[in-house]
Structure 1
Amino acid sequence: MSKKKKTKKAVKAEEVLRYLARNPSQLIRNWNYKGAVLSGLLRAPIFLVTYLIGKESLKVALGAALVQFVFRFFYAGISGAVIQHFRHVEPAWHALVAILLIIPFFSHLLEFLFQSAFAYMTATTQHTDEAIIRSICVTIISALFTLFAMRRGVMIVREPESKPLKKDVSKLPILIFQFCAFIPNEIASMLRRRAYLGAFLSFIGFGIFSQMMVWAITGKSSWTYNGGKSIPLLKYWGIDALLLLSVATSISLMIPPRSRKVSVEEFLSIEELKPAEKV
């Protein structure tokens, strides 16, 4: 007879907040080395490239990247522990809101202090502001994805279901694909249900979000080619994002729908399929 898989009891966001407030040492004990390593490797190049684009010396650029790596290595381990505590929160959107309020605020407040000190000593303040804006954009996406991954048992530490970093990294490509495919799949589902208003608002919202994010990252509201030439409308990041979303949604519509709709909560908590246990 197969054994039923044990699942942790769902908790509320306020319960997690109270627990962490009473036991802040848990953030150190459950320091997430997986998030620390990946975050450091992801964020340091942002500052390296930003300083090099600003025509600073390689020495200064490497210094800025090193400061960011050290900061992210220690802080991302703590923020990873915070997100891990929220991975069992229900409903899922409560966890999303809490994480997006907590992680970016403390992360970039401390980041600003560290990088500003470096910028003051090297007289490169203008580049710090640009790099932090780009870093904030990365934080928003990475926090959402980290929660998604942790609710699927990936990138967690000090729990029975945690796995080696190498195995978690091997799962990231499919997780990234599922994460990116959620919005077009959801819009396609709305269209099948004839929820046209919801689909339209989601479509427009994605375009606005994409325009703002890429604008913040690149510092440009549109792209050009051949020394300033541009294509009307298509030059805007948001329009390009809507075109890509249209293609992805069309592909999703051509694929037969599943027997039942997967909600946002299920999307965030669904676990990988495992082979049936032998009896």
Structure 2
Amino acid sequence: MKKTHTITEALLNLLKDPSQIIRNWNYKGAILSGIFRAPIFFITYIIGKESIRIAIGAALVQFFFRFFYAGISGAMVQNFRHVEPAWKALTAILLIIPLVSHGLEFIFQSVFAHLTSTHQHTDEAIIRSICVTIISALFTLFVMRRGVMIVGEIESKSLKKDILRLPALIFQFCAFIPNEIASMIRRNAFFAAFLSFVGFGIFSQLFVWAVTEKFYWTYSGGKQIPLLKYWGIDGIILLLIATVISLAIPPKNRPLEVKSSLESSLEEIINIDELKPVEKL
């Protein structure tokens, strides 16, 4: 697969030779996606008090669809894995893959829902599937930029070796944002750190709301804890705790004079200098 280092190169590479996503079909992503996505539909249908037969049918439809499409989407993500800065690759992936993926998914699952009269459960499952796609796209790009879950390249390893590396990469993935924010704070980039906390809080609120279909959580038959009942607030608190832990651990092999990728991305998106008042002559 041709290496593309800019977003323009990556997009042109796909447009000039779209058949490459079939030739470089990512069997690793296909297998794992099918295994992890099918249970979402199975559980959703079971929770909806549908029969085991219908739940298994919905799961099988999802498995075969994901097995086919995840191989294609994996090839697409791999095409963007060398793009710099990383946020541009991520933006393109989050725009392209969910749009195509869930458009097709909606068609397949809607046909199944029509045949089984289970439209409500299908809609719920697709919403949850979209949430999984967001995290999946983030994680896939993260690991592919580290040479894992790729196919057809010199750096490619066997699926077994990639799976053995996944636990450590999952930990690094979860620690990525706290580490980046900690790096910002060490550099006194407090505004960028603040934006990161706010953004994560908004994302947490919307994400968990979509998955649970509840705007906030309760306990003991409807009791609430002011402010803490909101998913976004809880997300910010957890991120704050993780960031404090990251600050307590000295960074290794990461020079402080080099800006973190997240900070650089924020500064590129929002030009801080433009926000400063113009000095009067």
TM-score between the two structures when normalised by the length of structure 1: 0.89
In structure 2, how many angstroms separate the alpha carbons of the residues matched to 1:89 and 1:249?
Answer: 27
Q: Write the deviation string for residues 154-182 of structure 1: whole angstroms up to 9, x where unpaired.
A: 00011111011011011111111111111
Following superposition of structure 1 onto structure 2, how do residues 132-171 of structure 1 map, counting pairs within 5 Å? Answer: 132-171=126-165
Q: How far 1:16 moved relative to its partner?
A: 2.2
Q: Give the corresponding residue for 1:194.
A: 188
**Which amino acid in 2 is paired with 1:50?**
T
**Contact 1:13–1:94 under 8 Å retained in 2:** yes
**Contact 2:4–2:10 under 8 Å retained in 1:** no
Q: Write the deviation string for residues 137-161 of structure 1: whole angstroms up to 9, x where unpaired.
A: 1111111110111111100011111
**Contact 1:68–1:115 under 8 Å retained in 2:** yes
Q: How far 1:230 moved relative to its partner?
A: 2.2
Following superposition of structure 1 onto structure 2, how do residues 32-51 of structure 1 map, counting pairs within 5 Å? Answer: 32-51=26-45
Q: Give the corresponding residue for 1:259.
A: 255
Q: How far 1:82 moved relative to its partner?
A: 0.7
In structure 2, how many angstroms separate the alpha carbons of the residues matched to 1:199 and 1:247?
Answer: 14
In structure 1, how many angstroms separate the alpha carbons of the residues matched to 2:224 and 2:166?
Answer: 36
Cα root mean square deviation, aligned:
1.8
In structure 2, how many angstroms separate the alpha carbons of the residues matched to 1:16 and 1:210?
Answer: 30
In structure 1, how many angstroms separate the alpha carbons of the residues matched to 2:185 and 2:7?
Answer: 32
**Contact 2:7–2:88 under 8 Å retained in 1:** yes
Could you say if the C-alpha distance between residues 211 and 135 of structure 1 is closer, same or farther in structure 2, counting changes exceeding 3 Å?
Answer: same
Counterpart of 1:95 (choices 85, 89, 96) is: 89
**Which amino acid in 2 is paired with 1:37?**
I
In structure 1, how many angstroms separate the alpha carbons of the residues matched to 2:171 and 2:82?
Answer: 22
User: More displaced, 55-64 or 15-24?
Assistant: 15-24
Could you say if the C-alpha distance between residues 10 and 22 of structure 1 is closer, same or farther in structure 2, counting changes exceeding 3 Å?
Answer: closer
In structure 2, how many angstroms separate the alpha carbons of the residues matched to 1:75 and 1:10?
Answer: 22
**Contact 1:208–1:238 under 8 Å retained in 2:** yes
Which structure 2 segments of 5+ residues have no match?
Answer: 265-281
User: More displaced, 52-61 or 88-97?
Assistant: 88-97
Moved over 6 A (4+): none
1:26 matched to 2:20: yes
Calculate percent identity across the aligned residue pairs: 72
In structure 2, how many angstroms separate the alpha carbons of the residues matched to 1:244 and 1:98?
Answer: 28
Which structure 1 segments of 5+ residues have no match?
Answer: 1-7, 268-279
Could you say if the C-alpha distance between residues 9 and 76 of structure 1 is closer, same or farther in structure 2, counting changes exceeding 3 Å?
Answer: closer
Q: Write the deviation string for residues 194-234 of structure 1: whole angstroms up to 9, x where unpaired.
A: 22221111111111100100110111111122222222222
**Contact 2:179–2:246 under 8 Å retained in 1:** yes
Q: How far 1:90 moved relative to its partner?
A: 2.1
SS in 2 for 1:223: coil
**Which amino acid in 2 is paired with 1:188?**
A
In structure 2, how many angstroms separate the alpha carbons of the residues matched to 1:170 and 1:237?
Answer: 32
